[in-house]
Structure 1
Amino acid sequence: MGTRGSLIAGIELGGTKCIALLGSGPEDVRAQQTVPTIDPDATLAAIEATLDGWDFDAIGVASFGPLQLDAAAPDYGAITATTKPGWTGTDLVRRLARRYGKPIGFQTDVNGAALAEGRWGAARGLATHAYLTIGTGVGVGLVANGRPVQGVAHGEAGHMRVPRAAGDTYPGWCRFHGDCVEGLISGPALAERFGCPGKELPQDGREWDLFVHDLCGLLHNLVVAAAPERIAIGGGVIAARAHLFQKLRARLAESLGGYGSLIGYAGELDDRLGPPGLGAMAGPLGALAVGLEAIDS
């Protein structure tokens, strides 16, 4: 079955909320429902109550993780050791397969958003691109030659360690790594680090200079490792602070230091680094993209 005319039930599972979407793309969203992320049984029951009223050809699941994406693994389709209380070991794919008997695509939320950006958004037509989300956690989806990059497990570049700013002694929020990037700039990290939620910080506060410093460390490593044709950054922490993109571009160009093969790249950051073309819908549409991938494969 091709994707033309196929309707997808997309499920984006997030740390604070989940969005169910029925459609085939950004110009064809026929229904949408949001439910809070609480315990797994109650959350999934609410999502299933929505899907039960829809007619669709496939399901796309784009979820917070970590996830088991190896189809040969006995726990394929499950959330593995996550920081989200109660969700470790939650079997998503088998539960949905038993209930609906439809093809199911399964990916991380950031890989889903990256696929959506490549299919419909600012990375359309590009072979290698990345999507970062900064919210409850920090996630990086990297697509190379049109496919999400994956080794023995999906990447966790949000947990990359980066050089700290001089005088910054915050130990970090991440319970696994302390001061990895997620431990420094995710929503919970900002609240603990600065004593109030990020949305309450002044737009021009020094706190955002530290944010730019830490995020730029991740961006530098991502660029020197993969040189994505475009990098989109979304998520609640940065969505309302578009002014930070210019600071990030300037800092990243400085960090790249005029290195040979990246001289041109550093001069093109106005086009290469920015918000997702799909805006806040990159995540939900990512679930549709993942479902369409399941039909294509």
Structure 2
Amino acid sequence: MTEDPLIAGIELGGTKCVVILAQGPDAIHERVEIPTTSPEETLAAAERAIDQWQGFAALGIASFGPVSINPSAADYGFITSTPKPGWAGTDVAKRLGARYGVPAGFHSDVVGAALGEARWGAAAGLADLAYVTVGTGIGVGLIGHGRPVDGLTHSELGHIRPQRSNGDDWTGVCPFHGSCIEGLASGPAIAARTGVKGQDLPPDHPAWEGVVHALAQLLHTITLTGVPRRIVMGGGVMVGSQFLFPRIRQAFRRSLNGYVAIPDIEDVDTFIVPPALGHNAGPLGAIVLGQQALEGR
């Protein structure tokens, strides 16, 4: 059997950047975590780590966004209209690709995590899935036939506007849309609404009801695209609050109300699952992006 190629990967997150040299989850040779500060400081630190490595065949980059993923666009490989201060208009892929002179794959961090879970994790063996990250932001990576489901750009389903719970008129925290899914159920939204970080909020706190309500509607919408055979939910809020899974599954079942009566969907315990790769889903997804770039896919 041919050994998987050695790939350098970068998961550029809103809080931290993970730089990894790997062939897969059982062959991680180096892993470095860097705080995400300013663009120049963060990217320079990532370059210093990668500069020490030799023999990698390609580079994969999975970045927080929004990002430009159209290879023919002038701003391909850039972070575009992000609310993260100082990062809008930052060139990531062209800068790093030119530095190392190897094929470079580039996509959003949530699509990277989806590719990692599809290759080695909770959706291994499934060609069609969705990965939902609930953390500093909320994003969705859709994979169909083993490839990201892209068109003009990547999906931004975390910014759809949900139906609000009766009597709930809280304005939310999204600087663009206020009470979109991200504005209501992300980590910063939970902290703004309660004054307590999600990991410190007790399971019986009433604020979780609004989080569950919003996330169940997001899963309802994703399911109605007809794409996923499984939905993997990760990110700091979900990984740190496992009690949310049964509540979200129950709310999702109520929301869908028997529509799309397919056994794969009706078995919510296997349709909505946590990630198997944990916090390595994104970095290993960057490795998959590098592999795909090497294959010319």
Tell whether the 8 Å contact from 1:131 to 1:231 is kept in structure 2 after alignment: yes
Aligned to 2:234: 234
Which sits farther off after the overlay, 276-285 or 21-30? 276-285
Aligned to 1:67: 67
**Aligned partners of 1:255 and 1:66: how far apart in 2?**
29
Aligned to 1:136: 136
**Aligned partners of 1:266 and 1:86: how far apart in 2?**
41
Aligned to 2:36: 37
Give 3-state SS (helix, strand or coil) of 2:130's partner. Answer: strand
Give 3-state SS (helix, strand or coil) of 1:226's partner. Answer: coil
Mind listing any 5+ residue stretches in structure 1 that lack a counterpart?
none
Relative distance call for 1:266 and 1:103 in structure 2 (3 A) is closer
**Aligned partners of 2:227 and 2:79: how far apart in 1?**
30
Aligned to 2:6: 7
Give the drift of 1:241: 1.4
**Aligned partners of 1:150 and 1:3: how far apart in 2?**
30
**Aligned partners of 2:135 and 2:4: how far apart in 1?**
33
Give the drift of 1:98: 2.3
| Counterpart amino acid of residue 129 in structure 1 | L
Aligned to 1:145: 145
Aligned to 1:93: 93
Relative distance call for 1:68 and 1:209 in structure 2 (3 A) is same
Mind listing any 5+ residue stretches in structure 2 that lack a counterpart?
none
Tell whether the 8 Å contact from 1:3 to 1:292 is kept in structure 2 after alignment: no
Give the drift of 1:4: 3.7
**Cα deviation per residue 1:38-95 (whole Å; 9 max; x = unaligned)?**
0000000100000000011111000000111000001111111111111111111121
Aligned to 2:166: 166
**Aligned partners of 1:99 and 1:160: how far apart in 2?**
37
**Aligned partners of 1:137 and 1:47: how far apart in 2?**
22
1:16 is aligned to 2:15: yes
Give structure 1 regions of 4+ aligned residues with deviation exceeding 6 angstroms: none
1:188 is aligned to 2:188: yes
Which sits farther off after the overlay, 278-287 or 129-138? 278-287
Give the drift of 1:5: 3.4
Which sits farther off after the overlay, 28-37 or 196-205? 196-205
Q: TM-score, normalised by structure 2?
A: 0.96
| Counterpart amino acid of residue 222 in structure 1 | I
Relative distance call for 1:97 and 1:258 in structure 2 (3 A) is closer
Which sits farther off after the overlay, 20-29 or 286-295? 286-295
| Matched-pair identity in % | 51
Which sits farther off after the overlay, 88-97 or 44-53? 88-97
Q: TM-score, normalised by structure 1?
A: 0.96
Tell whether the 8 Å contact from 2:144 to 2:227 is kept in structure 1 after alignment: no
**Cα deviation per residue 1:99-136 (whole Å; 9 max; x = unaligned)?**
11111000100101111111111111112101011111
Give 3-state SS (helix, strand or coil) of 2:10's partner. Answer: strand
**Cα deviation per residue 1:238-291 (whole Å; 9 max; x = unaligned)?**
1121121111111111111112x3253443111111101212211111111111
| Counterpart amino acid of residue 123 in structure 2 | A
**Aligned partners of 1:266 and 1:98: how far apart in 2?**
44
| Counterpart amino acid of residue 32 in structure 1 | R
Give 3-state SS (helix, strand or coil) of 1:62's partner. Answer: strand
**Cα deviation per residue 1:203-242 (whole Å; 9 max; x = unaligned)?**
2211111111110010111112225111000011111211
Count residues with an aligned counterpart.
Answer: 295
**Aligned partners of 1:266 and 1:231: how far apart in 2?**
10
| Counterpart amino acid of residue 42 in structure 2 | T
**Aligned partners of 1:189 and 1:247: how far apart in 2?**
19
**Aligned partners of 1:75 and 1:52: how far apart in 2?**
25
**Cα deviation per residue 1:119-171 (whole Å; 9 max; x = unaligned)?**
11111111210101111100100001111111111110011111011111110
Tell whether the 8 Å contact from 2:172 to 2:183 is kept in structure 1 after alignment: yes
| Counterpart amino acid of residue 6 in structure 2 | L
1:221 is aligned to 2:221: yes
RMSD over aligned CA atoms reads: 1.4
Aligned to 1:292: 291
**Aligned partners of 2:41 and 2:252: how far apart in 1?**
43
